[in-house]
Amino acid sequence: MIDLEPNLIQAQQFLRKWLSRYPYSLSFVLGAAASLAFAPLHLFFILIPCFLGLLTVLENKTIKQTFLMGWMFGWGHFSGGLYWIYFAFETANLTYFGPLAVVGLAGLMAIFPGLVCFLTALWSCPPLQKVWLFSALWALMEWLRSYLFTGFPWNLMGYTWTLTMLQSTAWIGVYGLSFLTVLAASALYSRSLKMTLSMVFVMAGLWVGGHYRLTHTPTLEHEDINLRLVQASIPQRMKWLPQERVKNLLLYQSLSQLAAERPLKAVIWPEAAVTIPLNQNPSLIDGLKTSISKDGVLITGGIRVIYEPNDTPVVYNCLYILDDQGIITDSYDKYHLTPFGEYAPFKSLIGIEKLTHGAFDYQGGAQLRVLSSAHLPPFQPLICYEGIFPQLVLGPRFKAQWLLSLTNDTWFGQSFGPYQHLAIVRVRAIEHGVPLIRAANNGVSAVVDPCGRVLQRLELNQIGYIDFALPKALVNPTFYSQWREIPFILMILVGLCVPFLGCNPHRRRSFKSLF
């Protein structure tokens, strides 16, 4: 192992001494600063001092202390990255509860960084091996965060990058990129010039590969498949008011009926654009036919209600496909619901209702689906935050040639939330090599090609529409779409094995040092 230059070692010693004075407060500040690495700022390089500081402050601490410091880092990190959740409660007239929700959710998510630091401290090994172990555990916890507590894989470290570096997700997925991101950001702590330079070359290689992929993969379009995205930017508080429903629908219809240069195969409205159950209101469907061109379809978010034998309504967050004859040709019920947004988990225990309109909780759909419609290639619908889950995207293996994301980001207010959401969901397009069409109630609506390039977009609170030719999927499926998380699993296994190479097993922390 090659040592860094003496002045760099002295700088690290100074940092260690400074951090040792206020370890818990500084852990929180470092975590909050790390949240600036995500959209829309993408200040990736801030992760270097943040992870260097965290690993330094963990030195010579009991394992209990390392968990608490990791938890404080995570609490600051998620408080900064998820502050926009406050606006959802403000919109629902629960302003007093907003700050509690932010710090509460951040505290729950902070368990994962706490466990990373706890498990890293269990094995006392040199800095080089510690960096590998820490990075592998961080990425592993991000993967677990996608499943535990209903799953919430928001702001994974792989999302800190911009488009060129994100091309690597076509091979290793966002979890694999998260592992390399943390490994690169932590490399200076290893005190190994070889390790640091190796990570510089690895990340430079990813950038070169991403640049090559972007410059040699042009955007191809179905010239005969023209679509229209409609963004009405209706405020959330007006969306469900009975006296506003007709006015809202007329706005969507007026934007849909404006003349197009080419015949439209489909008009697309966002999540919950229609707040009246279409399956229970045939007269409303007749009124919507004016928004559909000949041989075209209307794809809209709405609600679907069915009644049980005892007349209890079962409500679904639904996507409908209506043809020009006013027939519902297909529909998709949202599979993965948003906790507290669409249903209230542990309602009897914590006494909190869901934030969305209606007295009844939404029900989840039976399965993920790929939908087909005349004159349109088969597509997979993703409603709201379904798109943040890599495991929910079926991809080309299931014949989906494009992804359609319908969302209502009005809940996020004027915050980083909508930009983070777009940055996350467009990675699904890169991972699978298929275009993503995103219709958002108040933005950001976008047309994204298979490499993640945003071809057109409508900004926050903009009222308008986008006419576009549907981009084509890549001819060959991506490596990731075929092998999914296998490359990531192999990377994690390597990362977990490196700490044990050249380490004396007697270096494990004794039980007395745990607390």
DSSP letters for 47-76: HHHHHHHHHHHTTT--HHHHHHHHHHHHHH
DSSP letters for 182-204: HHHHHGGGGTBHHHHHHHHHHHH
Backbone angles phi, psi at 123, to 5 degrees: -115, 110
The β-bridge relationship of strands 436-440 and 402-407 is parallel
Q: Catalytic residue among 50, 117, 125, 384, which?
A: 384
- The length of the chain is 515
Q: Which residues pair with 438 in a beta bridge?
A: 405, 446
Q: Catalytic residue among 265, 334, 354, 472, which?
A: 334
271 in catalytic set: yes
334 in catalytic set: yes
Integer Cα distance of 65 and 120 in angstroms? 12
Q: How far is CA 95 from CA 78, 355, 409, in A?
A: 19, 12, 18
* Residue 327 one-letter amino acid: I
Integer Cα distance of 393 and 403 in angstroms? 9
Q: Catalytic residue among 117, 142, 239, 271, which?
A: 271
Backbone angles phi, psi at 322, to 5 degrees: -115, 135
For tokens 């008011």, what's the residue? 241
265 in catalytic set: no
Integer Cα distance of 362 and 218 in angstroms? 41
C-alpha count within 13 angstroms, C-beta hemisphere, residue 61: 25
* Residue 270 one-letter amino acid: P
Residues designated catalytic: 271, 334, 384
